[in-house]
Structure 1
Amino acid sequence: MNAAPSRSVVLIEDDEVLGESLVQRLTLEGVATHWARSLREGEALLRRHRPNLIVSDIRLPDGSGEALLLRLMPELGGTPIIVITAHGDVAQAVRLLRAGADDYVEKPFPPQLLLDKLASLSDWAPPAPPPTGEAGWRSPAMQRLRRHLLKLGQVDSTLLLGGESGAGKEVAARHLHDVSRRAEKPFVAVNCAAIPEDLLESQVFGHERGAFTGALTRQLGLAEQAGQGTLFLDEIAELGPASQAKLLRLLQERCFTRLGGRETLPLGARLVAASNADLRARVEEGRFREDLFFRLAVVELTVPPLRERPEDLGELAAHFLAHFARSFDRPEPQLNADSFDALLAHPWPGNVRELRNRIERAMVLADGPRLEPADLFPERRAEPEAPLSLAAARDAAERAHIRRALARSGNRLGDAAQLLAISRTTLWERMKRLGLKS
């Protein structure tokens, strides 16, 4: 596969023998592999970590892998997905291909087959996140939030941002940073849910050489890297008791010590925290320290969900269309009236992040110059009226995979053939047989 060490795969597979075999092979190929053994573990992993590739079984002990992938596709953007299926589940695999999955493998299969399929997708990498810009501030609710942030930019009070997942809490924190006197200093974001409890102190406060096994050099922590700028702590509710105590001390004393060190260092950065959980309820339940809550919530603001600010939808969609057109080096597609109506009618449980990822995925997979409702909401496509034969299912999978290779290569036949590990002539012949046009 010759994958770079920075490549990562999330594997969702409950079969211990198959899972262990795949993890070993992928690791030998230099691929960082995160293995979830159930639907619940897989969902938690994908919400914390966006990998380069996803491999998921359809049948899991606690639910349907198909339902999980359909639910999360709006949040995964263009991340390639390969489905593992048994013979009797091929129709489910084909439904997922129609909804945007990239390929499938049928059990039993040799690990090399999966490695070959992963290799054909290994050049994909998530595009850079869109700049925050001026999009999404048109609605009255967001204009009110912006006025509050402008006032807060003149002082250094600690801010606690609330709001649903994906609503734009980091965008609001960055806006506060940009309108403050700290604008030219660093903005450092920390996802508290993504740092294991035993590594938090080292990550945030840094460590000295020899502080623990493997600490070969001094490492500056995120608090020190933020300097006189802004330290943004996202998903603050996910901190455990020990980490809460360390953060409280940091806020109280405005200083810290590197792990294994003796020197006391001042905290010069402004602290902004965010949570999609009800922290007051967590305090009442005894899951979050009350003294820490009051230290964080000097000022509380809430970022409204996207469904409550439809005035922002068109501007945000245009912003993401332009950004991903530049990222993918292709013409910017148009949204027709039906597509925009579909956007307005959608409840947006994943908020702005869902909109961004739906547009990213649609631009990867769509064939024409316009994005249709089915491109933005592929899970709504009607299922086939009659079950497909195995040959028809395989043709559908091959057709979908070739389309994705063409999309990722900018419709260049030679580059697509290289991604698929076949010759240009073979690709042209297969496209002709499958009724595909370049």
Structure 2
Amino acid sequence: MSRRPPRGTLLLVEDDPVMGGSLADRLGLEGFDVAWVQRAGEAQAALARLRPDLVLCDIRLPDGSGETLFAALRPALGTAPVVFLTAFGEIDQAVRLMRAGAADFLTKPFAVDDLLGRIDTLLARRPTAQGAGALGASAAMRAVEATLVRAAAVDSTVLLTGESGTGKEVAARFLHARSTRAPRPFVALNCAALPESLMERELFGHEKGAFTGAAARAPGYAEQAGEGVLFLDEVMELAPALQAKLLRLIEAREFARLGSARMIPFRARIIAATNADPDARVREGRFREDLLFRLDVIRVAVPPLRARVEDILQLALRFADEFAAAFGRAVAGLRPAAEEALLAHDWPGNVRELRNRVERAVALATSPWLDAADLFPDLPRPLEEVLPTLAGVVEAAERRSIAAALAATGGDVAAAAGRLGVARSTLFEKMRRLGLRGRA
């Protein structure tokens, strides 16, 4: 029988031979590849030959401190989270470690099932592979992605809806890349960016002499798209006269450049997007119902970022890596305070706002670890007042762990309790206290 793929690679730094051996065995049975070392020097050597997905590290080691080791190894760890294990836990030490970038802190003795739940939560934050979960790790975005994959197999018109900044053009490009038209052009036209007098010539192009200043023939977006995709962003903002001409383009599958009577075949697929409510626009008389019928063959709603919290940290890390490479900066990851600030924000600007905040943070940060103040320089209170207490960090981690288990089990509380290794009654009580919902 072939061995199933490992759930991840863990580096365990624990000098106690009984506890270390027991943890290594249990983690191995859970499907992890475990590298177990007992000294700080061995940990440094291990990191020279492997790239762990997560590190479990004791505080007191025979040849040094886990805290000192953490500071020395941060450049080699990348974004791998570090969970500290200690029998000598003190609140100030825990807060100091977590402010320095540690992901979690467990005081011995601890329940192994609790540790496993925290590991699952931390590993779930890793950026997803481009081929699976390319648009996000949340259930909401996986559903959007699945719909787009199915839509890519046909040639119907697609209408993407959602708030500004949610990533509708990214979704459109994802659809195009997975369709048979992928080798052909993807041409995007923002229907809200130009006045009516310019929009028609941009869409259909013009002949030489068609108007004052037309010194040469110019193909429009419909012609440039060829047999690829014509992406009409903010399509609900088209003026009434242009709505009629777009309807004719879709129905007749042909158009003429301004200043010409010769009809040109239109072979592109149309994908449209809007941040408005299409049905409301029709009721208000601001958009043609017959045109909406043509555009709205397959409607895909892209949810706002606040409705897919599971994507926030993954997107932030992805953007941090992108801008670190672009700017030549070393970014190790996010401090716990930064993570909590990102998760607490309601993101009125959605993914576009997140991207902008991360770009600014990477450009101006003075440390490889991005902090809350780097991402939210407009915080109204001093940073020390908004840094989480240990209790707050633990509660936030507990909330994420339970939410992740509920999402993985479709809201089934009994199954989530089994996944977390706690009694169903205990999980019900924690959900009540944290304001989480599931189904019995």
Using the size of structure 2 for normalisation, the TM-score is: 0.56
Indicate the SS of the match to 1:378. coil
CA distance in 1, matches of 2:237, 2:214: 26
Q: Which moved more, 1:203-212 or 1:358-367?
A: 358-367
Contact 2:135-2:171 within 8 A present in 1 as well: no
Distance 1:316-1:383 versus aligned 2 partners, 3 A rule: closer
CA distance in 1, matches of 2:380, 2:324: 25
Higher relative contact order (CA 8 A, sep 6+): 1
Distance 1:302-1:144 versus aligned 2 partners, 3 A rule: same
Identical-pair percentage? 57
In the alignment, what sits opposite 1:167? 166
CA distance in 2, matches of 1:333, 1:366: 12
CA distance in 2, matches of 1:221, 1:134: 35
In the alignment, what sits opposite 1:363? 362
CA distance in 2, matches of 1:240, 1:342: 41
In the alignment, what sits opposite 1:271? 270
In the alignment, what sits opposite 1:300? 299
CA distance in 2, matches of 1:383, 1:261: 65
Indicate the SS of the match to 2:244. helix
Distance 1:266-1:157 versus aligned 2 partners, 3 A rule: same
Contact 1:227-1:269 within 8 A present in 2 as well: yes
Give me the CA root mean square deviation.
1.9
Indicate the SS of the match to 1:161. strand
Matches within 5 A, 1:11-22: none
Contact 2:135-2:145 within 8 A present in 1 as well: no
Letter in 1 for 2:349: G
Distance 1:184-1:173 versus aligned 2 partners, 3 A rule: same
Matches within 5 A, 1:5-404: 135-382=134-381
Indicate the SS of the match to 1:379. coil
- Give 1:133 deviation, angstroms: 9.9
Distance 1:141-1:134 versus aligned 2 partners, 3 A rule: closer
In the alignment, what sits opposite 2:388? none
Contact 1:135-1:319 within 8 A present in 2 as well: no
Unaligned runs of 5+ in 2: 1-129, 384-440
Distance 1:159-1:202 versus aligned 2 partners, 3 A rule: same
Unaligned runs of 5+ in 1: 1-130, 385-438
Contact 1:237-1:275 within 8 A present in 2 as well: yes
Count of residue correspondences:
254
CA distance in 2, matches of 1:357, 1:293: 33
Q: What per-residue deviation string (whole Å, max 9, x for no partner) do you get for residues 223-257 of structure 1?
A: 11111001100111111111111111111111100
- Give 1:262 deviation, angstroms: 2.0
The structure 1 segments of at least 4 consecutive aligned residues displaced by more than 3 Å after TM superposition are 131-136, 381-384
Distance 1:329-1:262 versus aligned 2 partners, 3 A rule: same
Letter in 2 for 1:329: G
In the alignment, what sits opposite 1:12? none
CA distance in 2, matches of 1:371, 1:139: 23
Contact 2:317-2:333 within 8 A present in 1 as well: no
Indicate the SS of the match to 1:295. helix
In the alignment, what sits opposite 2:22? none
CA distance in 2, matches of 1:239, 1:339: 41
Letter in 2 for 1:298: V
Contact 1:136-1:313 within 8 A present in 2 as well: no
In the alignment, what sits opposite 1:435? none
